[in-house]
Amino acid sequence: MFKILRHTTLGMLLLSIMPLTFWLSEWHWNPCKNDINLLWLFIIMQTVNSPWVILTNVLLSILMFKCLPSKANVLLILIFIINITIVAGQQIKSFIKYNTKEPRPYVIWLESNYGINSQKFYQLKIEERRKKIVDLNISNKTVPIWLKQHWIHETDFSFPSGHTIFVSSWALLVMYFLWPYRYYKTILIVLIWAYIIMASRLLFGMHWVQDLVVANILSWILVNLMIYSINYLILINRKQ
């Protein structure tokens, strides 16, 4: 039990380095200029946006299947449980979002600079919110076209970060299951990918730092529950 907690907690702390670095530096979000480096970040972020997130999830599932040295039927059950955990994380995220109703940073910025009332904005239906942003005469020099388009498609609430829950859950799972088999490069790549996704959510005005911190904690809880459940099932089967 404590071995599981030690490994997953270390992973969670590694993932928390990104948001805590922003917090300790007293960073405050402002719209990014049309920078090629930020555009690359945006492109990588698409791996967690619909519909590409489905492909990403499939590829990560295949990665786990290929790397773990167990029987195919056992691995298929494991992949199934992992995907239930991933879906559960998104459902929990949606429940919290619509009960906390935290505005996104870019909405607060639009309120300060373009006179949008954030409370009234979130009272509108999704299509009306999107139209509201489309109708704003935002200079392309202030906000790149690709970022404005992203805002148009993500007008829901901020807290917590669903993107972070997704990448953190997968990062923790990859670290926990693949570390004993010394897939260090694979773990590092997944960890860097998770860092990039988290950074992009902050840099593009989609989330506050606390959204990412709480998302990492939620991922840690979900992954621990999943691992304990699997170990419990294994223990029960051995006794039979």
The residues annotated with a catalytic role in the active site are 163, 207
Q: Extract the tokens encoding 18.
A: 């990104």
CA distance 135 to 79: 44
CA distance 29 to 147: 14
Place of tokens 């993500």: 154
CA distance 32 to 204: 7
Instruction: For residue 60, give the H/E element and its range.
Output: helix 52-67
Whether the CB-CB separation of 152 and 133 falls below 8 Å is answered with yes
Please list, in sequence order, all residues whose beta carbon lies within 8 angstroms of the beta carbon of residue 154, skipping any fewer than 6 positions away.
Answer: 104, 206
Find the radius of gyration of the CA atoms of the chain: 19
Q: Extract the tokens encoding 85.
A: 């955990």
Please list, in sequence order, all residues whose beta carbon lies within 8 angstroms of the beta carbon of residue 21, skipping any fewer than 6 positions away.
Answer: none
